[in-house]
């Protein structure tokens, strides 16, 4: 007889496993982070076995006590991984046996690692996604607070990276806050959607001892159990959905990072990052590089790569559990870690950067009021399609004279249309232009304040304000 640890699946095998295959097959080095979920799921399962009379009350108490000790060893860093611990489930069951003896062997009655790992992953992701969600909401809160504080700062708004119309700096900030609010709502919906229980499905065909799955679901905080055992053990849509959510959220982070990288350049100089989120050059002492923002932009590709890689593994898997599904955990873990750090770094950048309102205002130019000139004529009763062309002709006139649009006199403008009068001078005010855009969603102060109040109300319901 050998003293080598037995594989959970090794009963019908007599030959030794290739050591390289053993290492290739093992997942303990990354799935060990699900130790708490695995123990918590097993504790609930022990209670369900006892409730069904499959094990005694005393045996249940032994299992619960032993699993609690195993979990404590992991949390205190005392757990020792041994040869043969191919995954977190094997490791925990082996250690449980060392602590309480042969009764540990009863814990797996009717259960498969197929429904066990699916349960562990949902438990783990539910908790971690909730932490990530809190970071999203904190980022929104930071952005809203800054928008409220700097409400009167105005800047150029851009399309195609060309100066377009004047806007409030707060309006720009809130455009990103609304993206993140959508991200938060999507994640809340996703957490609710995947909060269903696979446990009690066995390997694929269901549970032979009629385990109380409703009890298990309630014990573990799931809103329901999955009603088809084949689906329960094979479904990883929740991983795919989370990876898509992470990719989209990182895309939104990447976009604000790109904006701020541009705005922090010497050519713009609208903002300056705090030293805590910048680095220097190894050669050029004058440089202050926005490395935090560039890393955020780069990490977006990393998360998207996790999603696309997993989808390629997932797409060809036949029904129920296949070992390909071991490839679901590392991208999920990495996406959680990357999102958690990225959201906190983004909040740090936004809360500490300095802005330069004078630089923003100096970048405004009269040609950005060309639309306002067209709208002036609209108020005089001229159809917009005509006023657009008239305003364009005024822009060309100013360009031909190598001057500013606002340098054109009333007499100049009257040559383009007789409706121009002395009051056209009111058009050349950036503040007036901004305040005229006062419909809900616009950049006028009243509209921006409405956005701030809406987001603050939403955050208050989420207990962040």
Q: What are the residues facing 196 on neighbouring strands?
A: 224
Of 376, 359, 357, the C-alpha closest to 423 is 376
Per-residue pLDDT of 366-406, as tens digits, reads: 999 999 999 999 999 999 999 999 999 999 999 999 999 99
How far is it, in rounded angstroms, from Cα 404 to Cα 463? 50
How far is it, in rounded angstroms, from Cα 276 to Cα 266? 19
Per-residue pLDDT of 212-223, as tens digits, reads: 999 999 999 999
- Whether residue 371 contacts residue 331, with contact meaning beta carbons closer than 8 Å, is answered with no
Radius of gyration of the chain (CA): 31
Q: What is the CATH number of the domain that holds 294?
A: 1.20.200.10
| Domain co-membership, 229 together with 347 | yes
Residue 235 has a pLDDT of: 97
- Structural domain count, the chain: 3
171 is a catalytic site residue: no
| Domain co-membership, 188 together with 329 | yes
Q: What pTM value is reported for the model?
A: 0.92
- The phi, psi pair for 163, rounded to 5°, reads -60, 130
Q: 3-class DSSP state for residue 157?
A: strand
- Whether residue 97 contacts residue 159, with contact meaning beta carbons closer than 8 Å, is answered with no
160 is a catalytic site residue: yes
56, 130, 182, 281: the catalytic one is 281
Pairing outcome for strands 354-355 and 271-272: antiparallel
Task: Bin 43: left if φ > 0, else alpha if -120 < ψ < 50, else beta.
Answer: alpha
14, 102, 160, 282: the catalytic one is 160
Domain span at residue 390 reads 366-461
Q: Structure tokens of 346? A: 């983004």
End of a domain among 342, 361, 380? 361
Q: What is the CATH number of the domain that holds 429?
A: 1.10.40.30
- The phi, psi pair for 156, rounded to 5°, reads -75, 140
Q: 3-class DSSP state for residue 456?
A: helix
Q: Is the pLDDT reported for residue 75 higher than 90? A: yes
The burial of 223, by beta-carbon neighbours within 10 Å (0-12 exposed, 13-18 middle, 19 or more buried), is given as: exposed
| Domain co-membership, 158 together with 241 | yes
Q: Is the pLDDT reported for residue 10 higher than 80? A: no
Residue 9 has a pLDDT of: 43
């Amino acid at each position: 007889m050998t003293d080598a640890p037995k594989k959970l699946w090794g009963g019908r095998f007599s030959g030794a496993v290739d050591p390289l295959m053993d290492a290739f097959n093992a997942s303990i080095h990354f799935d060990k982070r699900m130790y708490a979920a695995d123990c918590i799921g097993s504790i609930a399962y022990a209670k369900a076995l006892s409730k069904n009379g499959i094990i005694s009350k005393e045996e249940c108490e032994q299992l619960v006590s032993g699993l609690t000790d195993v979990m404590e060893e992991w949390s205190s860093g005392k757990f020792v991984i041994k040869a043969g611990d191919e995954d977190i489930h094997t490791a925990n069951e082996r250690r449980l046996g060392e602590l309480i003896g042969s009764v540990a062997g009863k814990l797996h009655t009717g259960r498969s690692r197929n429904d066990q790992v699916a349960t562990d992953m949902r438990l783990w992701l539910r908790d971690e996604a909730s932490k990530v969600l809190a970071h999203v909401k904190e980022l929104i809160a930071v952005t809203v607070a800054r928008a409220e504080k700097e409400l009167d700062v105005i800047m150029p708004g851009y399309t195609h990276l060309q100066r377009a119309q004047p806007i409030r700096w707060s309006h720009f900030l809130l455009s990103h806050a609304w993206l993140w609010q959508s991200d938060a709502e999507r994640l809340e919906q996703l957490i609710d959607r995947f909060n269903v229980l696979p446990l009690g499905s066995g390997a694929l065909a269901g549970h032979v001892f009629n385990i109380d799955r409703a009890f298990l679901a309630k014990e573990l905080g799931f809103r329901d159990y999955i009603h088809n055992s084949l689906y329960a053990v094979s479904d990883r849509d929740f991983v795919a959905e989370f990876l898509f959510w992470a990719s989209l959220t990182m895309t939104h982070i990447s976009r604000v990072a790109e904006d701020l990288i541009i705005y922090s350049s010497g050519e713009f100089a609208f903002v300056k990052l705090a030293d805590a989120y910048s680095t220097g050059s190894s050669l050029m002492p004058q440089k202050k590089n926005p490395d935090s923002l560039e890393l955020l932009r780069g990490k977006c590709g990393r998360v998207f790569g996790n999603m696309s890689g997993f989808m390629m593994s997932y797409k060809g898997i036949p029904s129920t559990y296949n070992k390909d599904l071991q490839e679901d955990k590392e991208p999920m873990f990495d996406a959680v870690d990357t999102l958690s750090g990225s959201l906190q770094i983004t909040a740090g950048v936004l809360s500490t950067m300095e802005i330069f309102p004078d630089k923003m205002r100096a970048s405004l130019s009269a040609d950005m009021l060309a639309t306002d000139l067209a709208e002036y004529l609209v108020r005089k009763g001229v159809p917009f399609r005509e006023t657009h062309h008239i305003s364009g002709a005024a822009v060309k006139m100013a360009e031909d004279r190598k001057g500013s649009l606002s340098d054109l006199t009333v007499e100049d403008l009257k040559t383009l249309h007789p409706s121009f009068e002395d009051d056209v001078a009111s058009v050349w005010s950036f503040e007036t232009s901004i305040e005229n855009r006062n419909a809900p969603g616009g950049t006028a102060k009243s509209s921006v304040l409405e956005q701030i109040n809406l987001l603050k109300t939403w955050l208050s319901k989420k207990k962040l304000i």
